[in-house]
Every structure is written in C-alpha cells, then in structure tokens.
Amino acid sequence: MSTLGISATAININSASKTRRTPVVGYTPLKISAGQSIGRFVIDKKIGQGGFGEVWRAKDQLGRFFALKFDHLQAECDFDQEAAAFEQIQANGGHATIISFLGKEKDGDLSYRIFEYVQRENLLSHLGGVVEAEGRGLSFTQSLTYLRQIAGGVQFLHGIGLLHNDLKPDNILIVDDRELKIIDFGAATPYPAGLYGGTPMFSSPEKLFMHQIDRRSDIFSLGIIFYYMLTREHPFASQTIADTKAVANIQSGKISLGLYSLPKEIRSLVSRLLAHRPEDRFQTCDEMIRAIDHAIETAPKAETIWQAWMRKATRLAERLLYRFADLKQKYLHRKIG
Ligand SMILES: Nc1ncnc2c1ncn2[C@@H]1O[C@H](COP(=O)(O)OP(=O)(O)OP(=O)(O)O)[C@@H](O)[C@H]1O
Ligand SMILES: [Mg+2]
C-alpha cells in the first residue's frame, strides 16, 4: 500500500518535486549499467531518471528496443500502482495515445516494467529545446493538435474510471507532429480520489488543498500543459517552469502571464481549462474535446503567440502613426489658417 500514494500531510506545496509515493530518501542506487544483461534484455542507455526510479533503453535478442522502468524501492514492488493501472487499460483495449505496456518481469531481485520505446524526446525537452524561427511557443495549430491528442487519451482513461493524476510535459512523449504518447501512470488512481500524488506545480487547486479530486483535476493539468505549449511559460510562474511560486499561485488562482494576449478562441479554451473552481471548468473530456475541435476550426492558423503579439503591436503602431500624422496635418492647417 505504501506505493499507492502519499498521505495528505506529505504534500510539500512549496516543492516542485514529485510527491506521489513515499519520498525515496537514502535509497541504494540501482546497479544497472550499459551492456548488462537483465532477463531477456541487454541494457543500452539510461533515458530517464526520476525521484522514484530509472528508465533504461534495452534491446531484446531480435535487436528491438524497449524502455525498462525500474523503481528505486524494489522491495515495494509487491503492489505496483503503475502496473495495476496498465492492466486495467489493457483489459479495456488500450488507446493509441497511451504508451503500450508489455508486462512486468523480474531478474533476481530486480523487477521492471516493460514499455514500447519511443525514439523521440518528451514534450518538456522538446519545448525546452525548440526555438521556433519566429515565436516562443508552438503554433496555435500544433498546440491544439497536441492538446486534442492528449485529451483523447485522457478521455479513454476517464471512461474506464481512472485519473492519470500526473499529467505534465515530461510525461508526454512525442512520436511526431501528429502523434503523442502519455506515459508514467505511477500516480494513476480510480476517482473520486482522496489519496494524492503527482507533481505540485502541475496539480489542480483542489488537489493542493487536499480536497477530493475527480476528472476535472486532470483537465486542469491539461490546461497547464496547453498554456506551456503556447507560450513556453508556466501559466502560474513568471520566469521559468521551475519557479516554485507556481504552487502558491495555483492555490490563489493567479495566472501570471494573463490571458489577454491570447486570441479569443484560444483564450476561452484556456480559461475553461484553468478555471480555479472545478465547477467552472469543463466537466468532462467530451465537453473539453468539443471546445478544442471548435478552436481548431476557428483559431488563427499556424501562428505562434509571439507572431500574434507582433501582428497586434504592428497594427497598434500603424494606428498611432496615422493618428499622429492626422493631428499634425490639423495643427499645420490651423497654423496656416
Ligand atoms: N517508453 C518510453 N520511451 C522513451 N522514453 C521514455 C519511455 N518511458 C519513459 N521515458 C523517458 O524517461 C523519463 C521518465 O519516465 P517516467 O516519467 O515514466 O519515470 P518516472 O520515474 O515517473 O519519472 P519522474 O519521476 O521524473 O516523473 C520520461 O520523461 C521519458 O523521457
Ligand atoms: Mg514522469
């Protein structure tokens, strides 16, 4: 049960770190290295390291790559929250936007979960690395396409009675411009839930306040991801995604960058996703997806928020110039007259 979640008092709201299970303090590092054989795999390279474990790329005898996920607390793997969630997902046929889980195996004392391997990076490193020619974030079209994809996976998940409960950019893998995969179901839980987990700065206000959470909590996290794709800024933190002020701002409902700069089709979507009170948010993924589809049809195409700002600023500057020229003319006329 200790891997199920953290006790309510264990959430450190001032920490951007993850709190979904018992914090792993003083664990013995896993002794895994490239070239090592584990079960039917040969370990290749480390591709992820969290507070709770390590993810390694490994090859099987046919030369195919897989992602193997090892928990630091190997002894606690008797109840495996992530494997349990994936068993439920598989029993319901799985979903194209959810990473394929290929089972759990053990070699000696070492147990690990096996996943399909996704070659490209996660959304966080993609946004950290991507510097678009003329813009800060992804284009409206690309951000909406990605949001629609993730929403489809989350809709499936909610439909089988689960919350992901840790939606954030590093838990989304990019396959290509149209396809994403949701990973990391270590905090997934049936809802409504009273056991918490996930990452504070991507959590809904009700989770941070330790109220009961339901589907709307995941919807709020999707709002943060969407805003981050558009602006490359966390909506509740002014400078950087690591800004821990975000947590206090989420609790008070203070969006740091404001919504005024977004085109109105996108602005209404973001404000429903990030509404402070769950009652003011989209209540279900169906409702959210209808709004995303509407925004896809109506929002400016292939433009970044930066380009939209520039367009607005140019229009404003032009108007001011005309006004100034007009005033000058009137002044000269009056002087001559
Ligand atoms: N199937 C996969 N294919 C490719 N890369 C993966 C895969 N699974 C995980 N990774 C990489 O490993 C990182 C960590 O994976 P995951 O989120 O499942 O582990 P975690 O221990 O929960 O990490 P954290 O505590 O940081 O959230 C991901 O952000 C991703 O970059
Ligand atoms: Mg993760």
Q: What tens digit of pLDDT does each residue of 203-227 get?
A: 999 999 999 999 999 999 999 999 9
User: What is the tens place of the pLDDT at every residue in 239-250?
Assistant: 554 567 888 889
Contact 106/29 with Cβ under 8 angstroms?
Answer: no
Q: Atom 16, ligand 1: which residue's CA is nearest? A: 184
Higher pLDDT, residue 333 or 145: 145
φ, ψ (nearest 5 deg) of residue 99: -55, 145
Q: Does 36 score more than 90 pLDDT?
A: yes
CA 226 – CA 292 distance, rounded (Å): 11
Min mean pLDDT across 236-240, 252-256, 276-280 is at 236-240
Q: What angle do CA 60, 64, 65 make, to 5 degrees?
A: 90
Cα 292 to ligand 1 centroid, rounded to whole Å: 27
Higher pLDDT, residue 249 or 277: 277
Cα 199 to ligand 1 centroid, rounded to whole Å: 14
pLDDT, residue 96, reads 98
Ligand with smallest separation from the Cα of 52 = 1
pLDDT, residue 196, reads 78
Q: Does 33 score more than 60 pLDDT?
A: yes
Q: Does 284 score more than 70 pLDDT?
A: yes
Q: Atom 2, ligand 1: which residue's CA is nearest? A: 117
Higher pLDDT, residue 8 or 291: 291
CA atoms within 13 A on the CB side of 305: 24
pLDDT bracket for residue 273 (50, 70, 90): very high
Contact 306/315 with Cβ under 8 angstroms?
Answer: no
Non-local (6+) Cβ contacts of 151 within 8 A are: 222, 285, 288, 289, 292
Non-local (6+) Cβ contacts of 85 within 8 A are: 162, 185, 188
What DSSP assignment string belongs to 80-113? -HHHHHHHHHHHTT--TTBPPEEEEEEETTEEEE
User: What is the tens place of the pLDDT at every residue in 300-331?
Assistant: 887 888 888 888 888 889 889 988 888 888 88
Q: Which residue has the tokens 């306040």?
A: 209
326: three-class secondary structure by DSSP: helix
Q: Does 15 score more than 60 pLDDT?
A: no
pLDDT bracket for residue 30 (50, 70, 90): confident
CA 228 – CA 146 distance, rounded (Å): 12
CA 282 – CA 300 distance, rounded (Å): 22
Q: Atom 7, ligand 1: which residue's CA is nearest? A: 67
The pick from 20, 41, 47 for probing ligand 1's pocket by mutation, whose C-beta has the most ligand atoms within 8 angstroms, reads: 47
Angle formed by the axes of helices 215-231 and 264-273, nearest 10°: 140
Ligand with smallest separation from the Cα of 120 = 1
With 0-12 / 13-18 / 19 or more C-beta atoms within 10 angstroms meaning exposed / middle / buried, residue 252 is: exposed
Report the mean per-residue pLDDT for the chain. 85
Q: Does 281 score more than 90 pLDDT?
A: yes
Q: Going from the N-terminus, what domains does the chain have, and what CATH number goes with each? A: 13-116 (3.30.200.20), 121-326 (1.10.510.10)
DSSP state of 262: S
CA 12 – CA 16 distance, rounded (Å): 8
pLDDT bracket for residue 254 (50, 70, 90): confident
CA 276 – CA 108 distance, rounded (Å): 48
pTM, two decimals, is 0.87
Instruction: Work out whether strand 37-38 and strand 65-71 pair parallel, antiparallel, or are unpaired.
Output: unpaired
Cα 148 to ligand 1 centroid, rounded to whole Å: 22
Q: Does 21 score more than 60 pLDDT?
A: no
The pick from 15, 52, 55, 225 for probing ligand 1's pocket by mutation, whose C-beta has the most ligand atoms within 8 angstroms, reads: 55
Q: Does 167 score more than 70 pLDDT?
A: yes
User: What is the tens place of the pLDDT at every residue in 47-59?
Assistant: 998 777 899 999 9
Q: Does 69 score more than 80 pLDDT?
A: yes
Q: Atom 8, ligand 1: which residue's CA is nearest? A: 67
Instruction: Determine the atom of ligand 1 nearest the C-alpha atom of 121.
Output: 31
**Maximum mean pLDDT: which of 27-31, 118-122, 162-166, 332-336:** 162-166
Mean per-residue pLDDT, 11-26: 42
Residues with CB under 6 A from ligand 1: 18, 47-48, 50-53, 55, 67, 69, 99, 115-118, 122, 170-171, 173, 183-184, 186
Partner residues linked to 68 by β-bridges: 56, 114
pLDDT, residue 12, reads 30
Ligand with smallest separation from the Cα of 170 = 1
Contact 138/180 with Cβ under 8 angstroms?
Answer: no
pLDDT, residue 26, reads 56
CA 237 – CA 255 distance, rounded (Å): 8
Min mean pLDDT across 88-97, 175-184, 253-262, 314-323 is at 253-262
Cα 184 to ligand 2 centroid, rounded to whole Å: 5
